[in-house]
Amino acid sequence: MQRSAELTSERFTYAERLDALREAKLASTEEKQRVIGAMDYDDWAMILPPEDRREMVKAVSGSGVEVNEVKLTGVEMVSNHPSGGFFGARAMGENYRRLLEAHPTHVDPMSSLAGAYMVNFYSYRDVDWNPDFDYSHLHEDQNRYQLFTGIGVQQLQAQ
């Protein structure tokens, strides 16, 4: 990143700026691949947290696929249900606030973003679906028609 550091203190052309942005993005992606591993899914537009705040975890993505993720250490979600999960707008909002309050500020003068997100909120959810809402009566038809319903996931990946 030497070139990027040099460019912050001098005037440079549009092409040089694009080159510096591309260089920074490639370096960020390489770091994520080194820490998280190869990704058989879209690269998430986020950066890794500082090394002293990283916790490696296995998580299920919003698409229902198991992935390696990094969480911020020291962030504890508060459950509002015996299952250990948190459900509803208030609990989701309060826990999201906990995450944002713990989230380090990131400013990179050579980035095209004003700030950066370092973790996925859904990695902090151990229970995705409120077990009080039973849908087992649908399982027979879901299996018969080979339906991937997306119940309990944020988005559905084609199987």
Q: What's the distance, Cα to Cα, between the start and end of the chain in Å?
A: 39
Q: Are 30 and 37 in contact (CB under 8 A)?
A: no
Question: Using 50, 70 and 90 to split pLDDT, how confident is the model at 133?
Answer: very high
Cα separation of 49 and 33, whole Å?
A: 14
Bigger pLDDT: 7 or 116?
Answer: 116
Cα separation of 22 and 157, whole Å?
A: 29
Per-residue pLDDT at 115 exceeds 90: no
Dihedral angle, C-alpha 135, 138, 143, 147, nearest 10 °: -80
Q: What are phi and psi of 57, to 5 degrees?
A: -140, 160
Q: Are 91 and 78 in contact (CB under 8 A)?
A: yes
Q: What is the pLDDT of residue 88?
A: 92
Per-residue pLDDT at 6 exceeds 70: no
Per residue in 54-76, pLDDT (tens digit) is 999 887 666 667 778 889 998 99
Average pLDDT, the chain: 82
Per-residue pLDDT at 5 exceeds 70: no
Per-residue pLDDT at 130 exceeds 70: yes
Q: Are 44 and 95 in contact (CB under 8 A)?
A: no
Question: Using 50, 70 and 90 to split pLDDT, how confident is the model at 146?
Answer: very high
Q: What is the pTM of this model?
A: 0.74
Q: Which of 41-45, 53-57, 104-108 has the lowest mean pLDDT?
A: 41-45
Bigger pLDDT: 150 or 69?
Answer: 69
Per residue in 75-104, pLDDT (tens digit) is 999 999 999 999 999 999 999 999 999 999
Buried b vs exposed e over 38-52: b needs ≥16 C-beta within 10 Å? eeeeeebebbbbeee
Q: Which of 3-12, 95-104, 129-138 has the lowest mean pLDDT?
A: 3-12
The domain spans of the chain are 2-123
